[in-house]
Structure 1
Amino acid sequence: MSVKTREKDLDFILDEMVEVVENSKDEIFHIGEEARSEYEILLRELEYTKQKVLEYIEDGDKLEQNVRYSRKRLSEVSKYFDRYSEKEIREIYESTHELQTKLVILRQEERALRYKRDDIERRLKNLDQTVKRAENLANKISVILTYLTDDFRQVNDMIEEAKEKQEFGLKIIEAQEEERKRISREIHDGPAQMLANILLRSELVDRTFREGSPEDALEEIRNVRKMVRSSLYEVRRIIYDLRPMALDDLGLIPTIKKYASTTSDYHNVNIEFTSMGELDRINQRYEIALFRLAQEAIQNAIKHAEATLITVNLEICPKNINLVIKDNGKGFDPTIKRDKSFGLMGMRERVEMFDGIMDIKSSIGKGTKVIIQVPYERALVE
């Protein structure tokens, strides 16, 4: 079987998987919408039922008073039987009996309404859980769809050449392990250490409050508060590095600008970002790729080049997109092959997926300049 045939088979399988997942998402969406509609109907019915229960209680209380008054009259008639005519006695008896019957029926209807009210409340609770589960499932399926239609498609493009498939698979695994190690190290050195310190500080607050003065305890509480804020900032930064939500909501330019600002503050490095050309949103595949390229280049400049100034220039032209990242770091010799340089290798492969070119200009002691050019014509990709 030829390489192209295998690639077509893989594309066919992917298309089928995407179709099945999209259909499942639509079905879950309809289930959620139906549950939400039924929830709103039941909510109105519950309000009506509660109102009717109150009315029945009020009518029942009034009728109960009438029954007591009628029974009192009946007792009086029975006691002074000779004072009333037979017709009056019969009318009082029938009136009392009728009121008692009405009261029994009213109380039965009230109990039925109470049962209906409780049943509606139970159904509302179940429907609310159904809506939440449907929303949760829809979110998970959206993640799967993103993986199938974006990341997995990119991987498929990157393994077009049969001879590179196995090697690329190994590189992906190694890169994943490196990323896991990086995240684990950042969490261990950052939030985990801070949380451990917060725990120790909280114990110190307790001891200071019991053995020292309230002012000292308040000062310790302020220190703990600062540490919690710092820990929260670290967690948000790690999450932002994994996948900034602004990329989906705002687009490429605001996201790179925000990332540059955040990274600059965190690493105490001057990062300058400028953008030119069209400012409208571009295809999401290009936004993700270009953001990752800028992110990787900035991280390389900080971690490996030890740069103090990084400039990022993005230009969106009618037929191509240019991204230039320049730093004043220690530089390196691009002609020397570096072992385990997965960052640059991944950048090159990501650029090649879009038929683009990446050029690296660097020399020892003179900084590095990464030039990326990707062909892009809005009418052809959107």
Structure 2
Amino acid sequence: MGVVVKSQEARHSKAFQAMTQVIERKLAWELLEACPDAVELSDLDGFILYINKAAAQRYGKTAGELLGVDIWSLYPARQAAHRKTVVNKATNSGLPVQFTDRYEGQWEEVLICPVRATNGNIEGIATYIRDITRQIRAEERLKLVSLQMLTSQEDERRRIARDLHDDIGQSMTAIILDLKAIHSGMLSGRKDAGSQIKETIRIVEDMMRRIRQVFYELRPPSFDTLSLTKVFEALCSSLALSTGLRVVFSSQEELPPIPNVQATALYRLVQEGINNVVKHAKATSVWVNLECVDSEVNISLEDDGQGFDPAQRPSYSIGLQGLRERFVMLNGSLDVESAPGKGTRLYGSLPLARPDGS
């Protein structure tokens, strides 16, 4: 009796194992069908033995239509030749080969793997294809933004160098000439040295204001020691003095704490915005407003200048594009509104939370 029971248990165990294998194979095929990546299995001559739904859609056909089809016939001649070379490399080495390719205008990451039979011989090729178009375009966009930022930095360096040469260099030359005149007058006993000293002091004061302006442009003051409102008041006053524009700044009475990275982006918007107003807008007044609404900090900069047609991309938009990318990287937005004869308005918005969600 015990032998019979044991035999029954053995049969049940084998049946269970067989059923498990069937379920596992069924599950594996279902997973392949549900996979968003293209999966293909072909023999060594290139005839398709299996193709999942994603791969069939990639060729614009159904899986049934593609079974038994020569896979190389689905590619342009040059691309088919390249893939044959890669397959030969995989079969000769017995190792997977990965590469990036383009198909029908899409970027793809392709992995070609040799498939071995139970005896160890390579009898087929499995191909996994993932669409990486969005990733490639994001990388290209990042490269473009990096190039734009480098261009903006170089433009800013040239502008600062020009300002240092034109303004501060001329002021230093004037100071030297005045001091020489004062020294010469003292040696000859002239009585007007006092007025010349006053003029020299005025030149030094103007030069110090200009140097302070350059420092403000290079690096904003610490937002840890001054409130954001005070920093922006000082910035707008400084820009008004240096540009001759009427700059009106307004802000709500109390602002919540704003992280430095967001505060710096807002600061740069005002700098770049007023710099563009001076160069291109032919305006007399600028209004800057800072406020926080619904856990977002918003800033607007509006001028009464000549405006422009947004459809006609202005040459100075590279700087604004760099600013827009900075706002986007901080999960915010930057919009430009303008029309010929109606001035220009910049509007930036940033979440108060850091980009990592903290």
TM-score (norm 1): 0.54
Please point out which of 128, 132, 150 is paired with 1:173: 150
Distance 1:343 1:378, change over 3 A: closer
Q: What is residue 160 of structure 2 aligned with on the other side?
A: 183
Displacement of 1:259 in angstroms is 0.5
Supply the distance in 1 between the matched residues of 2:253 and 2:197 (Cα, whole angstroms): 51
Aligned length in residues: 226
The change in CA–CA distance for 1:283 and 1:312 in structure 2 (over 3 A counts) is same
Deviation at 1:339, TM superposition (A): 3.5
Aligned to 2:306: 330
Displacement of 1:167 in angstroms is 2.5
Query: Aligned pair 1:219/2:177, yes or no?
Result: no
How big is the shift at 1:195?
0.5
Per the TM alignment, residue 185 of structure 1 is displaced from its structure 2 partner at its CA by: 0.6
* Cα distance in 1, alignment partners of residues 199 and 253 from structure 2: 47
1:329, CA displacement in angstroms? Answer: 0.8
Q: Deviations over 1:254-301 (max 9, x none)?
A: 211111112112222111111127513211211111111122112212
Amino acid paired to 1:189: D
Per-residue CA deviation, residues 296-342 of structure 1 (Å, 9 max, x unaligned), is: 11221222212211111111123222211111011111111233532
Instruction: Answer yes or no: is 1:253 the counterpart of 2:229.
Output: yes
CA separation of 1:366 and 1:203: change in aligned 2, threshold 3 A: same
Distance 1:277 1:378 in 2: 23
Residue from 264, 268, 279 that aligns with 1:288:
264
- Separation in structure 2 between the aligned mates of residue 366 and residue 161 of structure 1, nearest angstrom: 35
The 3 A distance-change label for structure 1 pair 2 and 265 is farther
Q: Which runs of 5+ in 2 are unaligned?
A: 1-97, 101-135
Cα deviations by residue, 1:212-235 (Å, 9 ceiling, x for unpaired): 52x212221221121111111111
Letter in 2 for 1:268: G
For residue 82 of structure 1, what is the aligned residue in structure 2? Answer: none
Shift of 1:210: 2.4
- Aligned partner (choices 204, 226, 235) of residue 228 of structure 1: 204
The one-letter code sitting in structure 2 at the alignment partner of 1:276 is: Q
Q: Is 1:271–1:309's contact at 8 Å kept on the other side of the alignment? A: yes
Query: What is the Cα deviation at residue 211 of structure 1?
Result: 2.8
Distance change >3 Å, CA 278–CA 229, structure 1 → 2: closer
| C-alpha contact (below 8 Å) 1:328/1:366 kept by paired residues | yes
- The 10-residue stretch of structure 1 (343-352 or 277-286) with the greater mean CA deviation from structure 2: 277-286
CA offset at residue 2 of structure 1? 10
**Cα distance 1:208–1:278, how it changes in 2: closer, same or farther (>3 A)?**
closer
Larger helix proportion of the pair: 1
What is the aligned-residue RMSD (CA, Å)?
A: 2.6
Is this contact kept in 1: 2:149–2:322, CA < 8 A?
Answer: no
Of 289, 310, 326, which aligns to 2:286? 310
The alpha carbon displacement at 1:184 in A equals 0.3
Structure in which a larger fraction of residues adopt strand: 2
- 1:321 paired residue number: 297
* Separation in structure 2 between the aligned mates of residue 326 and residue 337 of structure 1, nearest angstrom: 19
Displacement of 1:246: 4.1
Separation (CA, whole Å) in 2 of partners of 1:341 and 1:309: 21
Relative to 1, partners in 2 of residues 1:186 and 1:302: Cα closer, same or farther, differing over 3 Å?
same
Report the TM-score when normalising by structure 2. 0.58
Q: 1:299 aligned to 2:285?
A: no
1:163 counterpart residue number: 140
The residue type paired with residue 324 of structure 1 is: S
1:43-122 equivalence runs, <5 A = none
